[in-house]
Amino acid sequence: MKRIIAITGCPTGIAHTFMAEEALKSAAKKLSIEIKVETNGASGVENTIQPEDLINIAGVIIAADKDVNPDRFNGLPVIEVPVKEAIHHPAALINKILNGEAPIRKGEKSTTATQTEKESFGRQVYKHLMSGVSNMLPFVVAGGILIAISFLWGIYSADPKSAEYNAIAAMLMKIGQQAFSIMVPVFTAYIAYSISGRPGMVAGFVGGLLANATGAGFLGGIIAGFAAGYLMLWVKNLLEGLPRQYEGLKSIFIMPLVGVLAIGVLMVLLGQPVAAINNGMMSWLSSLQDSNPILLGIVVGAMCSFDFGGPVNKAAYVTGTLLLGQGNYFFMAGVSAACITPPLVIALATTFFPKGFSEDERAAGMVNYILGCTHITEGAIPFAAKDPLRVIPMMMVASSISAVLSYSLHIQVPAPHGGFLILPLVSKPLAWVLCILAGSACGAVMYGSWRLWLVRKQPAVEAAVNLQQGGNNAAL
C-alpha cells in the first residue's frame, strides 16, 4: 500500500487544523492509501513525523497557514497549500501525489528562502501575520476572561478607593491586565520570528513593547513585526560569510544589538503618528456604536461570516479585543454574537429542516450546537464549502442581524472568547442570547428552505433527464 505524509496547521490551531486532518484521513481511506497526519494545533504538535516515516513514501502534503518546519522534507515530492485546500479538496491533493505531480522540494538554506521561491508575496505576508495572531490569542483569551471574571464582584471591585473593592477581584484584574498588556509584543515578536527566526523575535518583541509605550498599538505592532523580521533576515544573510568561530559574537551580540537599535529608533519616530491613526480608527468605530449601530452591525456581521475564522474574521475579532483593552465592552458583544451565529444557523437548519440534509449532515449539525455555543465559527465551513456563493451571503445576513441587535440594545461583553460559557459576565445575558438566536433563526430559515428546495428540485431534474434519454433511445 502506498504511503503519504501530511502536515496540517491553521493560525489558531483550534478547528481548521483538525478538520483538514479528518478530511485527508477520510479521503485516503476511500482511496486505500496509508496516511500519517501531523497536526500543529493550539496545544502543540501531535503525531509528529519521525525520520523513519519518510522512508518509501509517495510524497508529502503540507496544508498549513503557519510555519510547520517544512525544510525537513527537502528533496521529497511536496505539495504546499493553504489549510482550507485540504478541507475542501483532500482527494485531489492525494491524487496529485500519487500521479507524480508534486514538485521536489528544494531550499537548503532556510524555510523563508524556500517559501520565497514557492509562494507569492501576499501569501507570505498572510502566513507571517497569522503566525503572530496564533501566538497572541492565548494571552488575549486568558487575560480577557480573568479581567471579566473580576467584574463579578462589581464593575469597580478592583479599585481600592471603591466601596465595591474586593481583594480577589483586584488580584484577578492585575493578572488579567498583565496577560493582556503583552498581547502586542507577542504578536509582533512572532511575526518577526516567522520571517527570520530567533534573531527577528528579539527585535520584534522590543518593537512591540515600544508600540505599546507610544500608543501605536496593534497597527504599530504590525509595522514593527514586519520591519524587524525582514531587517534581521537581511542582516543574517549579510553576516553569512563570517567565520564559524564568530557565530557566538554574531548571534548574541551583533544581531540583537542591530535589531533592537534599528527597530527601537523606528518605533520611537513612528510611534506618535501611528498612534494618531490607531486612535482615530478606534474612535470612529466606537462612535458608530451610538451614531449608527445598524451600519456597524452589518459591517461586523459581514466580516465575521465572510471567511469563518480567516483573516477578515480575525480583523474584526482583533479590533474587538483591542477595544476591550481600552475598556470598551460594547464592540465585542457584536463581534462575539456574529461569530457564534453561523454554526447555530447550521445546527438549527439541520434540526428543523431535516429533509433538506443527509444523515451525515444532520449528525454534523448537532455538533454545531456545541461549536456555536463555545464561539467556534469554523463549524460552518463544511456546509459553506459545498456552495459558498449562496451559503456565505446567508451567513453574513444572519450574523449581521445578531450584531445589529446586540449593538442596538447596548449589550456589554467583557471577555474576548467563550461563547455562552461567559454569560454570567454579560451585562444583559438573556437579551444577548435572544439577539443571537434571532439572527441564527433567520439564517436557518433561509438556509433550510433553500436546501429543501434543492431536494425537491432534484427529482424533477432527474425525471427530465430520464425522459430526454428515453426519447433519444426511441428515436434510435
**Structure confidence by residue, pLDDT tens digits, 121-148:** 776 787 787 778 778 878 877 777 787 7
Identify which has the larger pLDDT, 279 or 433: 433
Instruction: Give percent of the chain with pLDDT exceeding 70.
Output: 88
Confidence at 116, pLDDT banded by 50, 70, 90: very low
SS3 string, the chain, reads CCEEEEEEECCCCCCHHHHHHHHHHHHHHHCCCEEEEEEEECCEEECCCCHHHHCCCCEEEEEECCCCCHHHHCCCEEEEECHHHHHHCHHHHHHHHHCCCCCECCCCCCHHHHHHHHCCHHHHHHHHHHHHHHHHHHHHHHHHHHHHHHHHHCCCCCCCCCCCCCHHHHHHHHHHHHHHHCHHHHHHHHHHHHHHCHHHHHHHHHHHHHHHHHCCHHHHHHHHHHHHHHHHHHHHHHCCCCCHHHHHHHHHHHHHHHHHHHHHHHHHHHHHHHHHHHHHHHHHHHHHHHHCHHHHHHHHHHHHHHCCCCHHHHHHHHHHHHHHHCCCCCHHHHHHHHHHHHHHHHHHHHHHCHHHCCHHHHHHHHHHHHHHHCCCHHHHHHHHHHCHHHHHHHHHHHHHHHHHHHHHCCCCCCCCCCHHHHHHHCCCHHHHHHHHHHHHHHHHHHHHHHHHHHHHHHHHHHHHHHHHHHHHHHHC
- The 10 Å CB-count burial string (b at 16+, else e) for 14-25 is bbbbbbbbbbbb
Instruction: Give percent of the chain with pLDDT exceeding 90.
Output: 25
**Structure confidence by residue, pLDDT tens digits, 198-253:** 888 999 999 999 988 888 877 888 899 999 999 998 988 888 777 767 767 777 88
Query: Is the pTM value of this prediction over 0.95?
Result: no
Q: Kindly report the average pLDDT of the chain as a whole number.
A: 82
| Amino acid 113: pLDDT | 38
The answer to whether residue 170 scores a pLDDT higher than 50 is yes
Alpha carbons 186 and 182: distance in angstroms, whole number: 6
Contact 193, 250 (CB under 8 A): no
| Amino acid 459: pLDDT | 62
Give burial (CB, 10 Å; 0-12/13-18/19+) of 463. exposed
- The 10 Å CB-count burial string (b at 16+, else e) for 185-224 is bbbbbbbbbbbbbebbbbbbbbbbbbbbebebbbbbbbbb
Q: Which of 10, 373, 435, 442 is catalytic?
A: 10
Q: 152 is written with which cell numbers?
A: 463579578
Contact 252, 260 (CB under 8 A): no
| Amino acid 403: pLDDT | 93
The answer to whether residue 292 scores a pLDDT higher than 70 is yes
Contact 375, 433 (CB under 8 A): no
Q: Is 304 a catalytic residue?
A: no
The answer to whether residue 111 scores a pLDDT higher than 60 is no
In terms of average pLDDT, the best of 80-84, 244-248, 444-448 is 444-448
- Mean per-residue pLDDT, 267-272: 89
Identify which has the larger pLDDT, 60 or 457: 60
Q: Per CATH, which fold does 3-118 belong to? A: Rossmann fold (3.40.50)
Contact 20, 33 (CB under 8 A): no
- Mean per-residue pLDDT, 425-446: 93
The domain locations on the chain are 3-118, 121-273, 294-463
| Amino acid 296: pLDDT | 86
- Mean per-residue pLDDT, 352-373: 85
| Amino acid 310: pLDDT | 64
